[in-house]
Amino acid sequence: MPVRLTPYSQVILDTNHYSVPADNAYPNLVIKGYPFRVDTLRLDKVIANHPRCYGREQDISDPLHYLPLLEQRPGGFEHCKPIRHWRAGWPPLYEHLLARLWAQWPDGRGIRELVRIPKLHRDHPADIVEQAVGLPLKYGCPHADSVALCLHQLQTLEVPLPAVEPSINSGQAVADRPQLVTLGTQPLDLGRYDQLLERGQSCKPPCLTNTLDSVAPSSIDFAPTEREPGNRSSWLSQP
């Protein structure tokens, strides 16, 4: 059914208040109640979902919904009720990170940096994000960009290459080709590069070699030729 958004970025169903992302806070929305969940939609797109509450006058909030607003107004961080409830169950690393950011940027930037980090929970598992938060604290560079970088590295660890199968594409067993057993493990032979250069010089076309060798540098005249100004055709046809 159609609903209107409250000033606190919430929609109401059966006297209960369900939060909506602050960056999707449009006046006219649609709310759909199911036995175990409540969905809020805008233009047939679900923008928020919550477990359904059968109490009365309850606030069901997702703290992630208020992060975009706190980026604009970091002074409300201490007074945001959903954030206060969320902080009660935060891992100790988050409080340590908050203290470091506050000490480094007491003018509000520290809160903006902190707010960017919980946003990562939207697209990544909580345990991976927590690991990514701990690494910048260990390395002494606590800010949102370093956390995002560590998160990317944790999720893109080098995957070990699979073991070489005992056969190749042609179907012939490697055991029948002993020269492939040590392929990639032998020491580098830099002399092979010299052999490649020597072969390249020996493959020079004879006609080009004879032509270049027969022209002496002293026989080439690079002196400019005097031309008549105004008679362009005469010097264009000059060899």
Length of the chain: 239
- Residue 210 above 50 pLDDT? yes
Max mean pLDDT range (53-67, 107-121, 128-142, 146-160)? 53-67
- Residue 201 above 90 pLDDT? no
pLDDT, tens only, 3-33: 888 888 888 889 999 989 888 878 788 899 9
Amino acid 17: pLDDT: 92
Residue 222 confidence class, pLDDT cut points 50, 70, 90: very low
- Residue 158 above 70 pLDDT? no
Specify the pairing of strand 16-19 against strand 59-60: parallel
- Residue 173 above 60 pLDDT? no
- Residue 123 above 70 pLDDT? yes
Amino acid 195: pLDDT: 82
For residues 115, 120, 126 and 131, what is the CA-based torsion angle, rounded to 10 degrees? -90
Tell me how far apart the alpha carbons of residues 72 and 9 are, in angstroms, rounded to a whole number. Answer: 15
Amino acid 162: pLDDT: 57
Helix (H, G, I), strand (E, B) or coil at 167: strand
Amino acid 52: pLDDT: 93
Amino acid 36: pLDDT: 92
13 or 194: whose pLDDT is higher?
13
- Residue 124 above 80 pLDDT? yes
Residue 221 confidence class, pLDDT cut points 50, 70, 90: low
Q: Where exactly are the structural domains of the chain?
A: 2-61, 66-155
Strands (E), the chain: 2-4, 10-13, 16-19, 28-33, 37-42, 45-51, 59-60
Strand partners, 45: 42
pLDDT-above-90 percentage for the chain: 7
Q: φ, ψ for residue 121 (rounded to 5)?
A: -65, -20
107 or 233: whose pLDDT is higher?
107
Q: φ, ψ for residue 225 (rounded to 5)?
A: -95, 135
111 or 163: whose pLDDT is higher?
111
pLDDT, tens only, 60-79: 888 888 888 888 888 788 88
